[in-house]
Amino acid sequence: MINYIIIKLQKKTVISSVKKPTVRPIFPFTAIVGQEEMKLALILNVIDPKIGGVMIMGDRGTGKSTTIRAIADLLPEIPVVSNDSFNSHPSDIDLMGDQVKEAVDKQEDITLSYIKVPMVDLPLGATEDRLCGTIDIEKALTEGVKSFEPGLLAKANRGILYVDEVNLLDDHLVDILLDSAASGWNTVEREGISIRHPARFVLVGSGNPEEGELRPQLLDRFGMHAEIRTVKDPALRVKIVEERSKFDEDPTLCIAENKDNQELLKEQIIAAQEKLLSVEMDYEFRVKISEVCSELDVDGLRGDIVTNRAAKAFAAYQGHDRVTLEDIQTIITLSLRHRLRKDPLESIDSGQKVQKVFEKIFTDVIN
């Protein structure tokens, strides 16, 4: 009986000494097969977050969530002020909270740390308080002080905020999201406390068009719109299944096999971010982009602005000093297809319509 107990104890000791991974492995971005339109839209928004995010609409089971998590895992770590609730940048005023700004103004010492780019999921059942932040009731009751408890917008600052099934999200929450994404700030008024903090994030929404469409005025607020469809090519489907099976069987090996490609893409994105401000676009191209928007009867000027930004981001990604015709042709459908007025009697796809007008307006340049 005594021997039996000793053996059990020894086994327990051995089991407890086995070190288990504490971080869930993420499917490598470069191992994702197909869906090039979605991948490009995400990369361009990472290069220039001011593009305004991306809406991804497509069939179920096409890798939307997997791809979005993969791009966040791919990005390099960012410097933040230690123990700050808003992931404040140590030197950029637009990306730091008020307390950090005061500390910088007073030339106080600031401790830095490096974290992975935040990836925040917004569940469909989230409340406004959970999204924007609220008063810390526990602290108010125990210590008698009014304290702010940050919400998901604070956690997403300088990262990616992902909303799956965004077309099913309450409209007032979508309004808050889009306003914060556009302004880069979140303001909360609660119980006599006014809190304003940076909320600069890449807003990514996904959904299935069968479950309902977004209101046109909300859809227009997303910078880009990617449409993805189930792959029909049998050979490509087999390749996708094989890559996924390889990852499920041994995630560590799959990540190791894609390490070089991941590092190469990471370096390409970093180089594009650094090059972005120096990329130039000819005045003639800017005029023709506006002509395309006018011909397509696009409301407002967001279409013009996003197309210009996206073209520069893609040019930087390609290593170009100036935007080329091919750069514009690659991104113009992503930037404009969701801004067209829908005619139920029209048979032509919105993406094809954008390309048709592009070819018409840019005829002299193409020839």
Do 166 and 207 meet the contact criterion of CB atoms below 8 Å apart?
yes
Stretches in the chain below the pLDDT threshold 50: 1-20, 345, 347
- DSSP-H helix ranges across 204-318: 216-219, 234-249, 251-257, 259-275, 283-295, 302-318
- 318 closest CA partner among 309, 310, 327: 327
**pLDDT confidence of residue 23:** 66
In order, the DSSP letters of 168-202 are GS-HHHHHHHHHHHHHSEEEEEETTEEEEEE--EE
Tokens 């499920």, located at residue: 248
Active site residues: 302
- 200 closest CA partner among 290, 47, 61, 86: 86
Q: Which residues contact 49 (CB under 8 A, 6 or more apart)?
A: 200, 201, 202
**pLDDT confidence of residue 139:** 67
Distance CA 222, CA 55 (A): 6
Distance CA 351, CA 335 (A): 10
Do 163 and 68 meet the contact criterion of CB atoms below 8 Å apart?
no
- Check if CATH label 3.30.70.20 holds for domain 29-77+116-229: no
**pLDDT confidence of residue 35:** 80
Coil, strand or helix at 330: helix
165-168 contacts at long range (C-beta below 8 A, 24 or more positions apart): 165/124, 165/206, 165/207, 165/208, 165/211, 166/55, 166/205, 166/206, 166/207, 166/214, 167/205, 167/207, 167/208, 167/209, 167/211, 167/212, 167/213, 167/214, 168/124, 168/207, 168/211, 168/212
**pLDDT confidence of residue 146:** 65
- 286 closest CA partner among 300, 299, 305, 314: 305
Do 117 and 158 meet the contact criterion of CB atoms below 8 Å apart?
yes
Do 56 and 205 meet the contact criterion of CB atoms below 8 Å apart?
yes
- What is the value of pTM for the model shown? 0.82
Do 292 and 332 meet the contact criterion of CB atoms below 8 Å apart?
yes
**pLDDT confidence of residue 343:** 62
Distance CA 248, CA 50 (A): 35
**pLDDT confidence of residue 6:** 40
**pLDDT confidence of residue 366:** 63
* Angle at CA of residue 301, ends 296 and 281, nearest 5°: 90
**pLDDT confidence of residue 43:** 92
Helix axes 259-275, 36-47, angle to 10 degrees: 50
Fold of 279-366: Helicase, Ruva Protein; domain 3 (1.10.8)
- The residues of the chain that CATH labels 3.40.50.300 are 29-77+116-229
User: pLDDT, tens digit, for every residue of 307-325?
Assistant: 999 999 999 999 999 999 9
**pLDDT confidence of residue 140:** 61
Coil, strand or helix at 43: helix
- The residues of the chain that CATH labels 1.10.8.80 are 279-366
Q: Which residues contact 275 (CB under 8 A, 6 or more apart)?
A: 316, 319
